[in-house]
């Protein structure tokens, strides 16, 4: 993974959009910098020591004075800041201290090591003072503390311990789902930082992070947050295992929708980069092929061809377009009708594509719906239960009817999976097309039963005369 880390660390900050000055947090930080605390009053009231007063006063000057003081007193900086955070309770002062720490780290990433070294020397946790601040009521304090935690976790030589990491990632994930969170860009920025570190990626998956990103992306969010969350998906896909699993979270359909609606070049660029990784990074060629087919199914090819007609200044977009068009075209050539069908079912976006109405397809492939422990049938039944889309319900009902018609034990399988009951419930659906397809499917389920019964009666009638003749012969 070292090449991935090199790539990540070489990205310019404007490209990853880590420090957009327009975020609410940055605007408030600008105001807070103008209100210096009266450090001498803290010293006079003995709330801080002479040593801490000397340090914070020296650091709270111009950058040249700061740099000189840090060079001469490298160990004192972390000690003073952590002392201040534990001794000062006033929100306004805590805000100012956090801005000072963040500015110092932003100016020189190696300074995070000052905090790590100090904590290690004291055998204390460098994380606890900042993670505790996440429980405060003040939104600025909480989010600036989170920003500092992200930098300590990503820019130092030491990884965040598992329990603290789980707590922090869970907190970030929860903050993303807070309604009308004015700090959502800052939360997303912390995630952008964290997920560049491979060791933190699986921890994010364990707190159900990918599902949360997809859920937010499928709702209406502004393009900046859209970009940031897709960026998070992009960095996750640098891990080959995660690139393989990604579409289990329905990433391709959701990103395909955003791509078709997006007017912002940076959103387009990052989605194309995710798609490329989902084809390029998986070590299993079959998974890469399935991702290609899923993209074709979600009309990505059409969108790529539209984008190809536009002029982009960004060379990455042109290179990714060329790569994706070639891969998707190749996958279409190799595509069997069953591959196409399976991909459509897995995408959960059913429509009246030609395979559904092809008698030849059902004759040749009905039995294949039993593969992988009835995987495709289970998806169809799940869609009957959960989908609100009349088109999806209509097509799923039709497919279940065709499966039953072409596979001798189909009725029994569908009953076992709970599909018969669900189809019958759709007979009362509001949409006339759904009612019609459900009725046809129920008829096929019943006719199948009659045919089976008829065959049994035929067998019985064949046996009866023979036994009768035998009895009369003996008589």
Q: What is the CATH number of the domain that holds 330?
A: 1.25.10.10
**The model's pTM:** 0.75
Q: Does residue 388 belong to any structural domain of this protein?
A: yes
Q: Does residue 468 belong to any structural domain of this protein?
A: no
Tell me what pLDDT residue 474 has. 34
Tell me what pLDDT residue 467 has. 41
Do 148 and 201 reside in the same domain of the chain?
no
Task: Give the whole-angstrom CA distance, residue 279 versus residue 293.
Answer: 10
Tokens of 205: 């998956």
Tell me what pLDDT residue 20 has. 45
Q: Does residue 167 belong to any structural domain of this protein?
A: no
Do 382 and 327 reside in the same domain of the chain?
no
Tell me what pLDDT residue 22 has. 53
Task: Give the whole-angstrom CA distance, residue 198 versus residue 205.
Answer: 12
Could you tell me the residue range of the domain that residue 396 belongs to? 357-450
DSSP 35: S
The distance in angstroms from the start CA to the end CA of the chain is 89
Q: Which of 49, 137, 134, 58 is nearest to 87 (CA)?
A: 49
Task: Give the whole-angstrom CA distance, residue 361 versus residue 97.
Answer: 68
Tokens 């020296």 label which residue? 58
**Mean pLDDT of each 10-residue bin along the chain, 475 residues long:** 46 44 80 90 86 90 84 87 90 94 92 93 92 94 96 94 96 93 94 96 95 92 93 97 93 94 91 97 92 89 90 87 92 79 87 88 94 95 96 96 93 94 95 95 77 58 49 33
Do 301 and 398 reside in the same domain of the chain?
no
Q: What is the CATH number of the domain that holds 404?
A: 1.25.40.150
**How many residues in the chain?**
475
DSSP 431: S
- Backbone angles phi and psi of 312, in degrees to 5: -120, 135
* CB neighbour burial string for 213-237, b if at least 16 within 10 angstroms, e if fewer: bbebbeeebeebbbbbbbbbbbbbb
Tell me what pLDDT residue 462 has. 64
Task: Give the whole-angstrom CA distance, residue 178 versus residue 197.
Answer: 25
Do 446 and 376 reside in the same domain of the chain?
yes
Tokens of 56: 């914070």
Tokens of 103: 């500015």
Do 55 and 124 reside in the same domain of the chain?
yes
Q: Does residue 461 belong to any structural domain of this protein?
A: no
Domain count along the chain: 3
What is 97-161 written as a DSSP string?
Answer: HHHHHHHHHHH-GGGHHHHHHHHHHHT--SSHHHHHHTTSS-HHHHHHHHHHHHHHHHHSSSPPP
Q: Does residue 222 belong to any structural domain of this protein?
A: yes
Residue 123 burial by CB count (10 A; 0-12/13-18/19+): exposed, middle or buried? exposed
Tokens of 416: 């076992």
Q: Does residue 347 belong to any structural domain of this protein?
A: no
Task: Give the whole-angstrom CA distance, residue 153 versus residue 116.
Answer: 10
* CB neighbour burial string for 393-429, b if at least 16 within 10 angstroms, e if fewer: bbbbbbbbbbbbbbbeebbebbeebebbebbeebeeb
Tell me what pLDDT residue 464 has. 54
Do 259 and 363 reside in the same domain of the chain?
no
Residue 248 burial by CB count (10 A; 0-12/13-18/19+): exposed, middle or buried? exposed
* CB neighbour burial string for 23-46, b if at least 16 within 10 angstroms, e if fewer: bbbeebbeebeeeebebeebbeee
Do 373 and 315 reside in the same domain of the chain?
no
Do 154 and 252 reside in the same domain of the chain?
no
Tell me what pLDDT residue 460 has. 60
Do 421 and 322 reside in the same domain of the chain?
no
Alpha helices in 195-264 (DSSP H): 198-206, 209-217, 223-236, 240-245, 251-261
Do 85 and 147 reside in the same domain of the chain?
yes
Q: Does residue 459 belong to any structural domain of this protein?
A: no
Q: Does residue 191 belong to any structural domain of this protein?
A: no
Tell me what pLDDT residue 449 has. 52
Q: Which of 373, 368, 440, 430 is nearest to 401 (CA)?
A: 440
Point out the domain boundary residue: 103, 132, 158.
Answer: 158
Do 308 and 361 reside in the same domain of the chain?
no
Do 317 and 362 reside in the same domain of the chain?
no
Question: Maximum CA pair distance of the chain?
Answer: 126
Point out the domain boundary residue: 97, 127, 158.
Answer: 158
∠ CA 244-11-159, nearest 5°, is 70
């Amino acid at each position: 993974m070292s090449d991935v880390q090199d790539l990540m660390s070489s990205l310019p900050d404007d490209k990853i959009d880590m420090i957009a000055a327009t975020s609410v947090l940055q605007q408030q930080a600008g105001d807070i910098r103008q209100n210096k605390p009266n450090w001498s009053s803290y010293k006079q009231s003995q709330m801080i020591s002479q040593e801490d007063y000397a340090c914070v006063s020296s650091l709270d000057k111009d950058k040249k004075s700061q740099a000189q003081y840090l060079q001469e007193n490298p160990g004192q900086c972390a000690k003073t800041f952590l002392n201040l955070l534990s001794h000062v309770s006033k929100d306004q002062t805590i805000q100012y201290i956090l801005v000072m720490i963040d500015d110092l780290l932003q100016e020189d990433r190696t300074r995070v090591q000052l905090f790590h070294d100090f904590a290690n020397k004291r055998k204390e946790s460098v994380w606890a003072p900042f993670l505790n601040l996440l429980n405060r009521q003040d939104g600025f304090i909480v989010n600036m503390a989170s920003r500092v935690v992200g930098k300590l976790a990503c820019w130092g030589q030491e990884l965040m311990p598992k329990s603290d990491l789980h707590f922090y990632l869970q907190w970030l994930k929860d903050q993303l789902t807070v309604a009308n969170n004015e700090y959502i860009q800052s939360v997303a920025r912390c995630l952008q930082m964290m997920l560049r570190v491979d060791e933190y990626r699986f921890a994010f998956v364990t707190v159900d992070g990918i599902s949360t990103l997809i859920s937010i992306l499928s709702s209406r969010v502004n393009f900046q947050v859209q970009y940031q969350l897709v960026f998070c998906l992009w960095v996750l896909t640098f891990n080959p295992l995660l690139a393989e699993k990604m579409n289990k979270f329905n990433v391709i359909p959701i990103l395909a929708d955003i791509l078709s609606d997006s007017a912002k070049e940076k959103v387009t660029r990052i989605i194309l980069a995710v798609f490329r990784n989902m084809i390029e990074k998986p070590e299993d060629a079959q998974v890469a092929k399935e991702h290609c087919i899923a993209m074709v199914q979600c009309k990505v090819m059409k969108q790529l061809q539209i984008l190809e007609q536009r002029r982009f200044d960004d060379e990455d977009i042109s290179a990714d377009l060329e790569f994706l068009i070639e891969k998707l075209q190749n996958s279409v050539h190799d595509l069997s009708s069953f591959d196409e069908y399976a991909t459509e079912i897995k995408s959960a976006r059913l429509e009246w594509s030609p395979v559904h109405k092809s008698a030849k397809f059902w004759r040749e492939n009905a039995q294949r719906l039993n593969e992988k422990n009835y995987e495709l049938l289970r998806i169809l039944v799940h869609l009957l239960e959960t989908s609100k889309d009349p088109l999806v319900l209509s097509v799923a009902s039709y497919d279940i009817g065709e499966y039953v018609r072409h596979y001798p034990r189909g009725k029994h399988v569908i009953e076992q999976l709970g599909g018969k009951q669900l189809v019958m419930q759709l007979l009362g659906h509001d949409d006339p097309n759904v009612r019609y397809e459900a009725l046809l499917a129920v008829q096929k389920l019943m006719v199948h039963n009659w045919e089976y019964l008829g065959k049994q009666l035929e067998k019985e009638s064949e046996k009866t005369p023979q036994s009768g003749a035998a009895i009369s012969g003996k008589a």
